[in-house]
Amino acid sequence: MVNLRKKFEMKQANQPGRVPNYFRNQYHGYDEDMPNLLPTFIKLLDTEKDEDGAGLNAAEQIDRELKSRKYDILKFRNLTILELRHLNEFLFSTELNPPISDQVRRHDMDAPLSHYFIHTSLKSYFTGNNVFGRLYSIEPIIDALKQGVRVVELDLLPFGKDGICVRPKWNFEKPLELQECLDAIKEHAFTPTRSYPVIITIKDSLKPDLQSKVTQMIDQTFGDMVYHEDPQQSLEEFPSPAELQNKILISRRPPTKLLYAKAVENGVELEIQEGSTDKNYQSVVGFHAVEPRGMLQKALTDDVQQPGWYERDVISFTQNKFLRTRPKKRNLLSNPPYKPQRAWMHGAQMIALSRQDDKEKLWLMQGMFRANGGCGYVKKPNFLLNAGSSGVFYPTRNPVVVKTLNVKIYMGDGWIVDFKKRIGRLSKPDLYVRISIAGVPHDEKIMNTTVKNNEWKPTWGEEFTFPLTYPDLALISFEVYDYEISTPDEFCGQTCLPVSELIQGIRAVPLYDERGKACRSTMLLTRFKWS
């Protein structure tokens, strides 16, 4: 009798039409009034078995979430009746139904600053590519700050008789005025949602008299906003982001004095600034970060396959000191950056990356710092903060899958709005999605959907599985391309998201252009499920 009942219930559960009937009963309106996206999605959902987060269970979850959030959504708040068009608007909105939260976890911002990954830019004033066509402007600085970057880098050189300009050595493009850069930073550094400290990293070749002038300009521009070290007090730990809200921290590259004797005793080489320094200039430098040399640099490259003593020390070192990584110098035309995941695995807080070059790594950087409301500070995982020298975390040994992420891509929309000038000139595009995990080596994986031919609104309904050993360090990327037979596939949008912040359920995932600017309409309707 029990077996007969189970068979009957399973047969009922798999009958077609249950999902469309459920939505018709819960929402007013008629099928012919619905935008064409919703019926397509409902049809896809109706073909699924009623597992966790699928089929009728998914429909019920969407209904519960919309109705529980109705009074938080201004446009729905005063409605007495919800219609199918409202369901469509909610489900396919990247603002109302996002894949991750846009809220800052303010309760989690009280740890020492060294406990956070910090959104860092390289050559923040560059507008062009590497060597040729390079120009300098305050606009990239402003854009970086608006996108959540918290570390801005300026190269200072003498200019004229007693002036100071911003440009790199051995480059003679029209330079920027230092005051112009400082004013731009002051104006755009902080907003109510981006109030955590901004670090200005200065690389200079200035004599003491010009260093003194820089100090005056910084003090006159920022005043009490500048954080100063107390010379009478030796800090065991740096203040927290919460304590340093709306503060400007000045850092000098390389460090101006040896602060990390213990690391040197262990054989880790540090780059030390030589030469005289103005005392007032030194007093305004309140933040010190080490840059890798020797074994420390080797630990952060892609070449090392097995952990060594230096890697254990790097992780212990970054628990209370700051490590800033920069591109590896290989030739005149290219300085490839460190692989971000490699440096994050070792606790390095500051991964300096150009916002004009290396677009794939820029996407990873943007993805990492979409976490925590995009405030520019992301708390390190506990295993990087608590690892000791004897039981140090190292992710290439004895990997154990702790979670499995299931991702289902239902459909997408918006390409006809955002990419019509680039694709589909002669025919509708042939779109496919590349899904990948970036993280520790054992977790990395790349998969593609099938190509959907001649469709502006493709429907995939394909599911992918990603076993993860360290989900707290994992990023998931979505890249969409228009398939071409004889030429390279055409880029049609991308996004990268921190896996640890994904909201389970069916979400509208927004896509961005190659530089990280949000597309107006393009999105993927995707389900995230943990198992």
Whether the predicted pLDDT of 332 surpasses 60: no
Q: Do 167 and 24 belong together in one domain?
A: no
Whether the predicted pLDDT of 504 surpasses 50: yes
Instruction: Determine, yes or no, domain membership for 23.
Output: yes
Q: Beta strand pairing status for 248-252 and 198-204?
A: parallel
More confident residue, 312 or 383: 383
Query: What is the pLDDT at residue 292?
Result: 67
Whether the predicted pLDDT of 395 surpasses 90: no
Query: What is the pLDDT at residue 268?
Result: 46
Q: What is the mean pLDDT of residues 48-77?
A: 89
Could you tell me if 326 and 352 are in contact, meaning their C-beta atoms sit under 8 angstroms apart?
Answer: yes
Query: What is the pLDDT at residue 103?
Result: 92
Q: What is the mean pLDDT of residues 224-234?
A: 78
Amino acid at 56: L
Q: Do 363 and 510 belong together in one domain?
A: no
Q: What is the mean pLDDT of residues 405-413?
A: 97
Residue listed under structure tokens 């429907």: 459
Q: What is d(CA 48, CA 500) in angstroms, rounded to the nearest whole number?
A: 26
Q: Do 164 and 238 belong together in one domain?
A: yes
Q: Beta strand pairing status for 353-354 and 350-351?
A: unpaired
Query: What is the pLDDT at residue 136?
Result: 86
Q: What is the mean pLDDT of residues 346-372?
A: 87
Whether the predicted pLDDT of 105 surpasses 50: yes
Final residue in a domain of this structure, among 91, 123, 143: 91
Could you tell me if 274 and 208 are in contact, meaning their C-beta atoms sit under 8 angstroms apart?
Answer: no
Q: Do 376 and 415 belong together in one domain?
A: no
Q: Do 239 and 375 belong together in one domain?
A: yes
More confident residue, 467 or 338: 467
> Which is nearest to 93 in space by CA: 55, 54, 65?
65
The pLDDT tens digits for 452-484 are 999 999 999 999 999 999 999 999 999 999 998
Total domains in the fold of the chain = 3
Domain hosting residue 32, numbered range: 2-91
Cis peptide before 254 (omega within 30 of 0): yes
Instruction: Determine, yes or no, domain membership for 386.
Output: no
Q: What is the mean pLDDT of residues 207-224?
A: 92
Work out the mean pLDDT of the chain and round it to a whole number.
83
> Which is nearest to 290 in space by CA: 336, 376, 348?
348
Whether the predicted pLDDT of 274 surpasses 50: no
Range of 128-132, 170-174, 486-490 with top mean pLDDT: 486-490
pTM: 0.88
What one-character DSSP code corresponds to residue 342?
H
Query: What is the pLDDT at residue 289?
Result: 78
Secondary element (H or E) of residue 491? strand 490-498
Query: What is the pLDDT at residue 447?
Result: 97
Whether the predicted pLDDT of 94 surpasses 90: yes
Instruction: Determine, yes or no, domain membership for 85.
Output: yes
Q: What is the mean pLDDT of residues 204-226?
A: 91
Instruction: Determine, yes or no, domain membership for 393.
Output: no
More confident residue, 258 or 311: 311
Q: What is the mean pLDDT of residues 207-232?
A: 89
The pLDDT tens digits for 494-503 are 999 999 999 9
**Long-range residue pairs from 300-304, CB within 8 A, at least 24 positions apart, any chain:** 300/325, 300/338, 300/342, 300/343, 300/346, 300/348, 301/328, 301/338, 301/342, 302/339, 302/342
Query: What is the pLDDT at residue 257?
Result: 38
Cα Rg for the chain, rounded, in angstroms? 26
Final residue in a domain of this structure, among 39, 59, 91: 91
Q: What is the mean pLDDT of residues 418-430?
A: 86
Please give the backbone phi and psi of residue 162, each rounded to the nearest 5 degrees, phi first: -140, 30
Query: What is the pLDDT at residue 133?
Result: 53
Q: Do 14 and 119 belong together in one domain?
A: no
pLDDT class of 336 with cuts at 50, 70, 90: low
Query: What is the pLDDT at residue 256?
Result: 39
Residue listed under structure tokens 């399973």: 10
Q: What is d(CA 288, CA 201) in angstroms, rounded to the nearest whole number?
A: 9
Whether the predicted pLDDT of 295 surpasses 60: no
Final residue in a domain of this structure, among 42, 59, 91: 91
DSSP for 172-223? -SPPEEHHHHHHHHHHHS-BTTB-S-EEEEEEE---HHHHHHHHHHHHHHHG
Q: In CATH, what number is assigned to the domain containing residue 518?
A: 2.60.40.150
Secondary element (H or E) of residue 382? helix 382-385
Tell me the torsion sign for CA atoms 250, 251, 256, 262.
positive
Amino acid at 430: D
In sequence order, the β-bridge partners of residue 169 are none
Residue ranges of alpha helices (H) inside 270-339 are: 279-284, 294-299, 309-317
Q: Do 431 and 506 belong together in one domain?
A: yes
DSSP for 20-81? HHHHHHHSBS-GGGS-THHHHHHHHHHTS-S-TTSHHHHHHHHHHHHHHHGGGSTTTTT-SS
Q: Do 353 and 435 belong together in one domain?
A: no
Q: Do 188 and 336 belong together in one domain?
A: yes
Instruction: Determine, yes or no, domain membership for 392.
Output: no
What one-character DSSP code corresponds to residue 270?
B
Query: What is the pLDDT at residue 345?
Result: 85
Instruction: Determine, yes or no, domain membership for 103.
Output: no
**Angle subtended at Cα 494 by Cα 38 and Cα 368, rounded to the nearest 5 degrees:** 115
Instruction: Determine, yes or no, domain membership for 506.
Output: yes
Q: In CATH, what number is assigned to the domain containing residue 248?
A: 3.20.20.190
Q: Do 254 and 355 belong together in one domain?
A: yes
Whether the predicted pLDDT of 348 surpasses 60: yes
Instruction: Determine, yes or no, domain membership for 221.
Output: yes
Query: What is the pLDDT at residue 203?
Result: 87
